[in-house]
Every structure is written in structure tokens, then in C-alpha cells.
Amino acid sequence: MAPIVSFPGAVDGSHYTENLTFLLKYETIPTYRVLDTEGNVLDPAQDPKLDKDLCLKLYQHMLTLNGMDLILYEAQRQGRISFYMTNYGEEAAHLGSAAALTLEDVIYGQYREAGVIMYRGFTLDQFMNQCYSNASDLGKGRQMPVHYGTKELNVQTISSPLGTQIPQAAGTAYALKQQGKKACCVCYFGEGAASEGDFHAGLNIAATTESPVIFFCRNNGYAISTPAREQYRGDGIASRGHGYGMATARVDGNDILAVYNTMKEARRIAVEEGRPVLIEALTYRVGHHSTSDDSSAYRSKKEVSDWQRLDSPINRFRKYLENKGWWDNEKEAAFKKSSRAEILAAFARAEKQKKPPIENMFTDVYDELPWNLQEQKAELAELMKKYPEAYDASGYATSAPKA
């Protein structure tokens, strides 16, 4: 055997060689799956054998998520909410991963993870209230629609800047470990966000600090209009995990059972072994990027409809349930009907509510209002009194009475 190099930078060791070789070709990382597209289990040993109740809950959440997306997408088209982003095609990645976690695990999302929050118990009313930025919105009406967050369910509030949550999740995981919690942090992001510097910063710092964090990349092939081929030239996002010295897996993101298994094992590694994990879930963004986007400008409608027809995560799971005799057309129709009614009822309730009190514009910038904000709040109150025609406050709740 060739002698071992002694340079301190070779932390995992290295051997000398007299052959000049540039590493160019390597095997791409395989994509783990449990179900085929017809919902058949390929290797029975891989079936997590989730019980019927859980399976039905997961499937029904997929349908509810779809139903909610449909209503809120249309609501935005009609100008009733200002913005929306659908989750079409990524339902299995959300629900399969969420089901393998506990409520003690802290979630950081990007903005296309509504299924994860739904699984944890975020109600239709809470989704709607946030999108309507009404007086019941937990975020007090400050952020754009789909920027959810809930302390109760351990989901850190979503922000627009891409990738910022990645090093934050590492810090949270480190703190969880320090606090002696038997929990991990899970950080979702897309393959586009993985090009940000914060991805590099976050994965590297998580590795060196041995933080129990699971980085879950939703690779749906597009970042708005930019196809993956223009996003990177390596073997997707998963191939980067090795470079950071991180346990890594690639999974079929349209296979809910494969996603579940992957996340389950990732959680075990993170919590029990106290180190970070990278998961890349391959999926396809069936919807437009957002309501501000028409994706037919950069990809064919046929490409989209082929994915919907040939590899829908919902259909695949439905076939699995049907094979088990747990689901059928009748159940499907009945559930869709009742679910749609619930969504519309929550929608109507949210729409009826007033906006939050206007003073919420000034609070929570700091823990207390500094002098400049007190002055500016008073100035606005004066202006509103002076020019009521310019400041219609009728749609806003009044301030809570002072204690």
C-alpha cells in the first residue's frame, strides 16, 4: 500500500499516488423507492407497514392540501388574496417526511411545505387566516401569504429570502442537543435555494458542530423558470453531502413510503448519533412557481401533464391503499365532497374577518416600542384623524383595550 499523507488538511486520511488522475466520472447516487407507479411494493422488506389510520390520514391530507391549493389559487386569481403558491406534485415529499417526525422536532421551511404543517395540525382556518392576513393570523398580518409559522407546532416562521433557514436550522439543532432534547431540526429547501451561499455555510457548519439536523431538499427540477441543468452540473444536491462528510440519501419524492422510510432513518441518525443528514427528494413541480408565474412560458404543457398522468404521488399512494382494500371511488368522492365543504367554510370565515389592529404595524419590531416608533405611531394616529378619507380603517379591528 502507498504511504499515507500526513498533511493536517486530509482529515479522513489519504494515500500518495504516482498516477495523475482527475476525478471526472463517478456513479450517480441511486434513488430509493418502495412503490412502483402502480402502487405495488417492490420489496416487501421495505414496506414500513404503516397502519390503516395513519395511511388514510396521510392520503386524506394529500387530498385536502390539493383542495386547499385549488381554492386559494383561484382566490388569488380573483384578487381576494394577494399571492399564493401551490404544492402540486410535492404532496408525498411533505406528508411522508412529516409523518416520520415528532412534534418535538423543529421545522424550518422554505415556502412550499404546507403539507408538513398540515400534518402537524395546522388547521384550515389557520392557513386561511394567514393568507388573508386577517386579525386571527398568528403572524399579525405582516407577511405575504403562505409565510406560515406556529410556535405551538414547532414550525419556525417562513421568510422569503432563500436559503437563510439552512444555517439557522444548524444552530437550532445545536441548541436542541445542548439543551439535552431528544429531538432534531428538519430544514426544507428547494434545489434552487441550494445554490445560495447559505446552503454551503449551513451544511458545513452543521457537519463541524455535529448538529442533529436533517436537510431535506425538494428537487422538483425548476427554480421558477430555471431548469436544474442551469442550476448545477453535479449529481444533483445529494452528491454534495459526501463533500461535507454527511450521511446522505436520495429518494423518490413521489413515493410517500420511500420518503417516510428515509426520514425515519435520517431522524434516527440525527438524534441517536448526533450528526447531520442530507436527503434529496426527487419530485416534479406540477403547478406554476407561484400566482405571479405562468410556467408555460418556459416548459411545455405536455411535460406537465405527462407527470400528472404518469407519476402522480397521490395516485401512486391511492393505488397502494386500493390494493389493501382501504380505499375506493366511493370513499374518494365522499371525502372530496366533505373536504371541499370544510375548505370553503374556513375560506368564508377567514374572508369575513377584519384585518389586524393597525397598531400591529409598530409592535414587535423590538420587544418594546422605542421613542422613534412611539413618535411615528402617534404621527400616524394624528394623520388618520386629520385625513379620514385617505385612511379608511373600517376594515381593521380596533386596538385591544389597554389593561
DSSP output for 18-38: SS-------PPPP-B-SB-TT
Q: Is 147 marked active-site?
A: no
Distance CA 99, CA 208 (A): 28
Considering the complex, what minimum distance in angstroms separates the CB of residue 203 from other proteins? 9
Considering the complex, what minimum distance in angstroms separates the CB of residue 157 from other proteins? 4
Distance CA 115, CA 89 (A): 11
**Which residues here bind other proteins, judged by CB under 8 A?**
106, 137-140, 142-143, 147, 149-151, 156-157, 159, 161, 164, 166-176, 178-179, 185, 197-198, 200-202, 204-205, 208-209, 363-367, 370-373
Distance CA 163, CA 196 (A): 6
Q: Is 160 marked active-site?
A: yes
Nearer to other proteins, 174 or 396 (CB): 174
Distance CA 371, CA 203 (A): 40
Q: What angle do CA 32, 38, 44 make, to 5 degrees?
A: 55
Nearer to other proteins, 277 or 282 (CB): 277
Residue 223: closest CA among 167, 279, 290, 131:
290
Considering the complex, what minimum distance in angstroms separates the CB of residue 11 from other proteins? 12
Tell me, rounded to whole angstroms, the distance of Cα 163 from its chain centroid: 12
Q: Is 200 marked active-site?
A: no
Considering the complex, what minimum distance in angstroms separates the CB of residue 38 from other proteins? 42
Q: Is 230 marked active-site?
A: no
User: Do 314 and 251 form a contact (C-beta atoms < 8 A)?
Assistant: no
Nearer to other proteins, 169 or 194 (CB): 169
Nearer to other proteins, 175 or 344 (CB): 175
User: Do 212 and 179 form a contact (C-beta atoms < 8 A)?
Assistant: no
Contacts 24+ apart (CB under 8 A), 324-327: 324/52, 324/55, 326/52, 326/55, 326/56, 327/56, 327/59
How distant, in Å, are the alpha carbons of 28, 32, 38 from that of 25?
9, 21, 34
- What are the two backbone dihedrals, phi and then psi, of residue 389, each rounded to the nearest 5 degrees? -70, -25
Considering the complex, what minimum distance in angstroms separates the CB of residue 164 from other proteins? 5
Nearer to other proteins, 41 or 201 (CB): 201
Considering the complex, what minimum distance in angstroms separates the CB of residue 163 from other proteins? 9
Alpha helices in 81-196 (DSSP H): 91-98, 114-120, 124-132, 165-178
Question: Which sequence positions are flagged as catalytic?
Answer: 74, 160, 289-290
